């Protein structure tokens, strides 16, 4: 089980935009705000009567409220569709974000569509996701249905739709929910965006919407969206929150995420709570995370703690501990693992040990693989560890294979297979 640390992309994007807006607002004087309002009301009453984009009047009105920076010059002197293209080319992410926020302040409702379309045509790279989120967020504030209509027709993933729903639901949750439920039933991805939008202000309502979703990827996304707000008051309060979830599978998943997150920040507290959980399936899934985190803080305490667990939890805990232990001291970790023989299912721990120790102690790692009870897992680990060893130290690896009894025939033939593969590769390269 991987830790939750899923800081949601959409939340992050909108937070970035909000931070810049707040900062920009704090730096804007009252006289500038008044002038901006007066200019908008007098010179931009409608799309038909305001000065065309790119004209001198338009440029002057834009430039009045912007600092003398490169982004200000772009926004102040270029039509929106040209400005968005120029801003997207800026390398400095802070300047780029400031420029987009300045551009957004100048856009009329009927200009968003072309600006977003032109921006998308440039290619939505990882570096441009934050600006894309800003544009969608702002468009949703101005015209949520228009923004959604565009997203549903022109985008192939749920990102844009959920970002728009997140923005809309923060302003008018009732309208956003009504729209989402009219558009789709079941695992409705639009509800995921709404849950993200309303969770900060109304966790109870967001929880209710979460429980309306059936088991699905969408429900998992929604759960991950809501958990940061659930955990604001601590793990104990968060676990109490899970008691109100009617769906057993949803509850178990929530407990798993909460415990994994707690294991990262407070491993001892997570270890204490683990043995009190009423959901054994969730406890088993998270035991390796908790044990591994505790081992990184206090190895001896983690080993002692694991000894008092029930068998199913202990197997997972030993796997978590051995991952850290073998990375630090493979020989000592091997000794501890040997002392546990017969006490619990060690297959997961042996596999973890072999993975972690194969670089520094390949022979020790290979010796342990033979004790894996599952034939499929045993052969898988032999092939993986021995293939690596044969590439780094073929003489020692082949000697170990020849001198180790009862190896499967496929494992014994591994050196020949690797030599044949290498020769075939050379032959292809020489053609």
Contact 309, 339 (CB under 8 A): no
Residue 33 has pLDDT above 70, yes or no: no
Cα 218 vs. chain centroid, distance in angstroms?
Answer: 14
Residue 38 CA, distance from chain mean position: 44
Look at the alpha carbons of 288, 292, 262, 239 in this order and tell me if their dihedral is positive or negative: positive
User: Which has the minimum average pLDDT: 55-59, 126-130, 245-249, 377-381?
Assistant: 55-59
Judging by beta carbons within 10 Å of its beta carbon (0-12, 13-18, 19+), is residue 306 exposed, middle or buried? buried
| CA–CA gap between residue 180 and residue 197 (Å, rounded) | 13
Interval 108-123: pLDDT, tens: 999 999 999 999 999 9
Percent of the chain with pLDDT over 70: 84
How far is the C-alpha of 322 from the C-alpha of 414, rounded, in Å?
28
Confidence class for position 72, pLDDT limits 50, 70, 90:
confident
pLDDT in tens, 347-372: 999 999 999 999 999 999 999 999 99
- How far, in whole angstroms, is CA 247 from its chain's centroid? 24
The mean predicted confidence, pLDDT, of the chain is: 85
Mean pLDDT of 374-385: 95
Task: Identify the weakest region by mean pLDDT among 7-11, 336-340, 409-413.
Answer: 7-11
Length of the chain: 431
> In Å, how far are 21, 23, 75, 89, 138 from 63, measured between CA atoms?
18, 19, 8, 20, 21
Q: What is d(CA 198, CA 206) in angstroms, rounded to the nearest whole number?
A: 6
Going by pLDDT thresholds of 50, 70 and 90, the confidence category of residue 420 is confident
Burial of 21 by CB count in 10 Å (0-12 exposed, 13-18 middle, 19+ buried)? Answer: middle
Asked if 296 and 324 count as a contact pair (C-beta separation under 8 A), the reply is yes
pLDDT at residue 405 greater than cutoff 60: yes
The residue among 25 and 134 whose pLDDT is bigger is 134
Give the distance from CA 143 to its chain's centroid.
29
4 vs 164, which has greater pLDDT?
164
Mean pLDDT of all residues in 327-342: 95
Query: Of 198, 194, 201, 162, which is closest to residue 177 (Cα–Cα)?
Result: 194
| Ranges of each domain in the chain | 1-33+52-141, 143-233
pLDDT tens digits for range 120-140: 999 998 889 999 999 999 999
Selection from 254, 279, 283 nearest residue 270 by Cα:
283
| Cα 95-98-99 angle, rounded to 5 deg | 85
């Amino acid at each position: 089980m991987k830790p939750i640390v899923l800081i949601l992309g959409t939340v992050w994007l909108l937070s970035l935009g909000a931070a810049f807006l707040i900062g920009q607002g704090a730096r804007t004087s009252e006289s500038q705000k008044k002038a901006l309002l007066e200019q908008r009301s007098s010179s931009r009453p409608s799309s038909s009567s305001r000065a065309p984009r790119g004209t001198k009047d338009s440029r002057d009105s834009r430039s009045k409220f912007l600092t003398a920076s490169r982004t200000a010059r772009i926004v102040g002197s270029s039509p929106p569709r040209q400005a968005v293209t120029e801003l997207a080319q800026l390398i400095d992410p802070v300047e780029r974000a400031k420029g987009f926020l300045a551009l957004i302040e100048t856009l009329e409702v009927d200009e968003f569509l072309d600006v977003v379309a032109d921006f998308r045509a440039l290619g939505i790279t990882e570096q441009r996701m934050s600006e894309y989120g800003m544009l969608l967020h702002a468009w949703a504030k101005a015209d949520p249905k228009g923004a959604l209509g565009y997203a549903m027709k022109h985008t192939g993933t749920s990102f844009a739709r959920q970002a728009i729903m997140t923005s809309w639901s923060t302003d008018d949750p009732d309208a956003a929910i009504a729209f989402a439920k009219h558009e789709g039933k079941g695992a409705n991805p639009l509800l995921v965006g709404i849950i993200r939008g309303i969770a900060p202000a109304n966790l109870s309502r967001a929880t209710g919407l979460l429980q309306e979703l059936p088991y699905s990827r969408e429900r998992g996304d929604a759960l991950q969206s809501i958990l940061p707000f659930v955990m604001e008051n601590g793990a104990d309060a968060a676990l109490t929150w899970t008691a109100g979830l009617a769906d057993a599978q949803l509850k178990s998943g929530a407990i798993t995420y909460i415990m994994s997150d707690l294991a990262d920040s407070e491993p001892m507290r997570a270890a204490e709570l683990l043995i009190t959980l009423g959901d054994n399936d969730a406890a088993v899934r998270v035991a390796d995370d908790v044990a591994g985190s505790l081992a990184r803080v206090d190895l001896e305490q983690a080993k002692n703690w694991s000894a008092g667990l029930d068998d199913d939890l202990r197997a997972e805990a030993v796997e978590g501990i051995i991952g850290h232990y073998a990375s630090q001291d493979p020989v000592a970790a091997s000794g501890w693992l040997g002392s546990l023989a017969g006490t619990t299912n060690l297959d997961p721990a042996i596999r973890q040990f072999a993975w972690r120790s194969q670089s520094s102690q390949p022979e020790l790692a290979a010796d342990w693989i033979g004790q894996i009870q599952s034939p499929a897992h045993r052969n898988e680990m032999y092939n993986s560890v021995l293939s690596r060893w044969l590439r780094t130290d073929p003489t020692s690896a082949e000697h170990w294979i020849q001198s180790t009894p009862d190896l499967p025939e496929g494992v014994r033939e591994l050196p020949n297979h690797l030599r044949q593969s290498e020769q075939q590769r050379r032959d292809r390269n020489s053609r």
